[in-house]
Amino acid sequence: DQGFEVISNTQDTTVAAAEQFLTQLVQGVNYPVLVLPNDDGTENRYEARYIPYAVVVGRDGLILWVGHPLSLNENSIAEWLSQ
């Protein structure tokens, strides 16, 4: 509730396939997951090169960071939230 929202995109092309995968995750997912039945270019728009791939977009719509989600750290997130 600090002005931060996580949204995920999946390569699954159906909601059923995405739900099946997400229920297998140990930690669960408590954020929106986009299911794009037809390739709408989202991966290309954010230059996704591998999976998982994360993009942090600032409030102004500019990309702040890209990389593997496990590379994100609390200090970086705190800094982005303070901007």
Give tens-digit pLDDT for 39-52: 666 666 767 777 77
pTM: 0.63
pLDDT digits (tens, 9 = 90+) for 19-67: 888 888 757 677 788 887 666 666 667 677 777 778 888 888 888 888 8
| 31 CB-near residues (< 8 Å, 6+ apart) | 5, 6, 7, 8
